[in-house]
Amino acid sequence: MMAAMGMRTLATGLAIALLAATVTPAAELEIPLGLDAYLPIAKDNPLTVEKVELGRRLFDEKRLSRDGMVACSTCHDPKRHFTDEKPLAEGVFGRTGNRRVPAILNRGYGKAFFWDGRIATLEEQVLQPIINEKEMDMTMQEVVARLRQDADYVAEFERAFQNPISERNVSHALASYVRTILSGNSRYDRYVSGEMEVLTELEKQGLEIFRGKGNCTDCHLGTNLTDEKFRNTGIAWKNGELVDLGRFEFTGREIDRGSFKTPTLRNVADRAPYMHDGSLAKLNDVVDYYNRGGNRNPWIDRELLPLRLTNAEKEALIAFLHTLTGPVRDGL
């Protein structure tokens, strides 16, 4: 039975072959129970132990930021499920961003990146915080120059890529590491796999609400509990005014005004505050928000209607959401 398997092993070569790559796998990646066994891997960036470990070091490297005080892990804290506790992102020199730091759990399965989906690949995404003036405020030329001054980095890049330090290799190392940040094997996953006693009766009631009256699975579905689509839930409307254009800023389509990507619900109970702007402090606030149908506006998602959940139903739903928390693993 799959339920007896805490983890499944994915031969990286298989995933790469499915993407028509012609490389020899150098490592295996363990895929937690509940996630898709076939993790997409870029054809020109196969996973290796050397690249992943180099990417891990770069993820923690504060020299990638202008003031030497901020690393990727400053905001995407491994101890906090690869996000932080702040409503809005904070970068170099105390600069504040416009949106909440998203959790990067299972982002190897992502189809578009950032809250507005403006970036198409993980290899592109990992460089954007480095060059964003509100985050790390560097140029890639400066990053490469700084890293080349470190003999250890020079040797590590040579081992990982058989090439010198370059923007492309920084990108590929960071993306390789981020692909290994995975969370599954939650009590919910074990329940779905056949361990029927792993959830309490209250949690099972919450699952029924999640799938039924709560209409949560209209957006939060699949193994990663997100449809990877963009929705207008009304959060960007404050006092009747649109304060963040969301995906519209990237696409220019009227339907995208105030729309943001559906986040994964993996480990959601431990990832407060919530929404793209961190404006909802607790899970109770999120459930209450959706229960009343969100902030109405001309472009609000047509599926977003008042739920009319009772207090008991809200309690059950929140209890179920806690079952989506599983261990987080990274690396090979």
Domain ranges of the chain: 48-183, 187-329
Q: Using the predicted structure, report yes or no on whether residue 6 has a pLDDT greater than 60.
A: no
Q: Classify domain 187-329 at the CATH class level.
A: mainly alpha
285: three-class secondary structure by DSSP: helix
Whether 75 contacts 49, CB under 8 Å: no
Which of 12-21, 110-119, 131-140 comes out lowest in average pLDDT? 12-21
- Reported as a pLDDT band with limits 50, 70 and 90, residue 27 is low
What are the structure tokens assigned to 132, written together?
A: 């964003």
Whole-model pTM above 0.85? yes
Whether 176 contacts 51, CB under 8 Å: yes
Among 242, 222, 243, which residue's Cα sits nearest to residue 324?
222
> Using one digit for the tens of pLDDT, what is the confidence trace for 261-284?
999 999 999 999 999 999 999 999
Q: What does DSSP say about strands 237-238 and 241-242: parallel, antiparallel, or unpaired?
A: antiparallel
Q: Which amino acid is at 102?
A: P
DSSP codes joined into one string, 172-186: HHHHHHHHT-EE---
Mean pLDDT of 2-20: 37
Q: Using the predicted structure, report yes or no on whether residue 23 has a pLDDT greater than 60.
A: no
Q: Classify domain 48-183 at the CATH class level.
A: mainly alpha
> Using one digit for the tens of pLDDT, what is the confidence trace for 40-65?
999 999 999 999 999 999 999 999 99
In this chain, the answer to whether the domains covering 48-183 and 187-329 adopt an identical fold is: yes
